[in-house]
């Protein structure tokens, strides 16, 4: 526990943790602005169907951007060789867990900022409900989930460029399935996480979706942690 606390404190002081989080949040906010403009009709009236579609689009955007940022949190340091130095300082388990926790914490704050911006802008434009604590919590949780998912996959892939394509693909996978297999897509992590976030944003309990998404995260993170502990870092 002492080693984990030291590794976590060191990770939280990394400038690029917060710079990367700010860049990913700015990218998400820019794309969010485009979605909000596209979702605003000429009269400015709120349409329930449009609100639902807009919320789904923004949730998928947050998951995707945070997943890519999470994967880069591992692969960028692995490519630069600084991850090896962290292992020498803190050993493998604390180094991995500290990086995962700090990545999730930064994504949590970035997601909360996106939720605040989305709630305020959608209320002003009257396109997707009003700002509420549940909406902020939903986006913060979705961002943290996406970051952990991307971090785990990035640690398994260990390739910066490959992660740039593979991680977003893993988030978009349920939507790419053919129609006959579409119900199967609801059991994958991205669909479960998005379903929880969309329902939580409008204050609807979705414990089943949350537990399913958390189960996927535990499974993938445990596999990534096991591989990291046993695999050569060279």
pLDDT (tens digit, 9 = 90+) per residue, 27-77? 988 888 887 777 665 445 455 545 777 888 889 999 999 999 999 999 988
Tell me the mean pLDDT in the region 10-29. 89
Separation of alpha carbons 95 and 89, rounded Å? 8
Separation of alpha carbons 147 and 65, rounded Å? 8
Residue 113 within any structural domain of the chain: yes
Residue 57 within any structural domain of the chain: yes
- Is residue 59 a contact partner of residue 194, using CB atoms and an 8 Å limit? yes
From 152, 150, 110, 153, select the one nearest 20 (Cα to Cα).
Answer: 110
- pLDDT score, position 74: 93
Residue 222 within any structural domain of the chain: yes
- pLDDT score, position 128: 59
Residue 179 within any structural domain of the chain: no
Tell me the mean pLDDT in the region 207-233. 91
- pLDDT score, position 180: 45
- pLDDT score, position 42: 46
Residue 22 within any structural domain of the chain: yes
Domain extent for 75: 2-39+46-172+184-230
Q: How many domains does the chain have?
A: 1
- Is residue 198 a contact partner of residue 141, using CB atoms and an 8 Å limit? no
Q: Of how many residues is the chain composed? A: 234
Return mean pLDDT, the chain. Answer: 84
- pLDDT score, position 122: 75
Separation of alpha carbons 162 and 77, rounded Å? 15
Segment 125-154, tens digit of pLDDT: 766 566 788 889 999 999 999 999 999 999
Residue 122 within any structural domain of the chain: yes
From 65, 96, 102, 72, select the one nearest 190 (Cα to Cα).
Answer: 65
Provide the sign of the torsion angle of the four alpha carbons 171, 175, 177, 181, taken in this order. Answer: positive
Residue 150 within any structural domain of the chain: yes
DSSP state of 39: T
């Amino acid at each position: 526990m002492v080693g984990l606390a030291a590794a976590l404190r060191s990770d939280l002081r990394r400038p690029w943790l917060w710079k990367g989080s700010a860049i990913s949040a700015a990218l998400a906010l820019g794309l969010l602005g485009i979605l909000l403009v596209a979702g605003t009709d000429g009269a400015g009236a709120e349409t329930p169907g449009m609100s639902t579609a807009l919320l789904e689009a923004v949730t998928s955007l947050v998951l995707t951007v945070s997943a890519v940022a999470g994967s880069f949190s591992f692969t960028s340091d692995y490519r630069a060789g600084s991850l090896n130095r962290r292992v020498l300082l803190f050993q493998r388990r604390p180094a991995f867990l500290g990086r995962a926790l700090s990545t999730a914490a930064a994504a949590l704050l970035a997601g909360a900022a996106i939720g605040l911006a989305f709630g305020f802008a959608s209320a002003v434009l009257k396109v997707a409900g009003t700002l509420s604590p549940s909406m902020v919590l939903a986006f913060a949780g979705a961002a943290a989930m996406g970051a952990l998912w991307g971090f785990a996959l990035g640690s398994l892939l260990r390739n910066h460029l490959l992660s740039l394509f593979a991680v977003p693909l893993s988030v978009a996978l349920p939507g790419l399935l053919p129609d006959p297999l579409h119900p199967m897509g609801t059991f994958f992590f991205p669909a479960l996480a998005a379903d929880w976030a969309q329902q939580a944003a409008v204050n609807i309990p979705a414990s089943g979706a949350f537990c399913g998404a958390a189960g996927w995260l535990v499974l993938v993170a445990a596999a990534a942690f096991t591989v990291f502990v046993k695999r050569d870092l060279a």
